[in-house]
Homo-oligomer: A and B are copies of this chain.
Amino acid sequence: MKAIGRHIILEMWGCRNLDSVDVAERALREMVDALDVTLLDLRVYPFSPVGVTGMAIVSESHLVIHTWPEHGYAAVDVFTCGAPRDPEAAVNVLRRLFAPERIGVMEINRGQLDLPDHDLTAAASSSTPAPRHTRTPAALSA
């Protein structure tokens, strides 16, 4: 399916190194390299008493990491446009730097492009076949 962007959502549990600004920065930079995106800006913010937030703005959108050391949990998002990126590239970096016991990965299309809009008017009045759908709209059976 064709979409404007792809959004990889990662959930990591049982992690190490979650309270380090340096490791968060390193994770973002290494993911940027591994995913072959163009870095525009990168900032990491420490939180009190624990935790960090890191954000990388890339020309292909963004990468972000939020950590909760008290839970051993980190949330990572990788949003890119253009050519699809392999989530595994990001996962490898994250495994190496945070050593999570468990990782969940979900991938979402952002800005779906290739699903046609359904046009009831055109289908009812022309002789062309009805658009292919899994269900037939009531108007077409009249």
Contact = CB atoms under 8 A, between A and B. Distances in A.
Interface of A: 4-5, 7, 9, 11, 40-41, 43, 45, 47, 53, 55, 57, 59, 61-62, 64, 66, 68, 71, 73, 75, 77, 79, 81, 108, 110-113
A119 to B, nearest CB: 15
A112 B102 CA distance: 13
A73 B111 CA distance: 7
Contacts of A11: 110-112
Majority-rule SS of A interface residues: strand
Given A68-B111, A110-B11, A57 B77 contact: no
B43 A111 contact: no
Contacts of A7: 9, 75
Ranked nearest first, the 10 interchain pairs of A and B with the lowest CB-CB distance are A75-B110, A73-B111, A61-B66, A4-B68, A62-B64, A55-B55, A53-B57, A45-B57, A55-B57, A4-B73
Contacts of A66: 5, 61-62, 79, 81
B41 A43 contact: yes
A26 B62 CA distance: 20
29 contacts: A4-B68, A4-B71, A4-B75, A5-B66, A5-B75, A9-B108, A9-B110, A11-B110, A11-B112, A43-B57, A45-B57, A47-B59, A53-B57, A53-B62, A55-B55, A55-B57, A55-B62, A61-B75, A62-B66, A64-B64, A64-B79, A66-B79, A68-B81, A71-B111, A73-B111, A75-B79, A75-B111, A77-B77, A77-B79
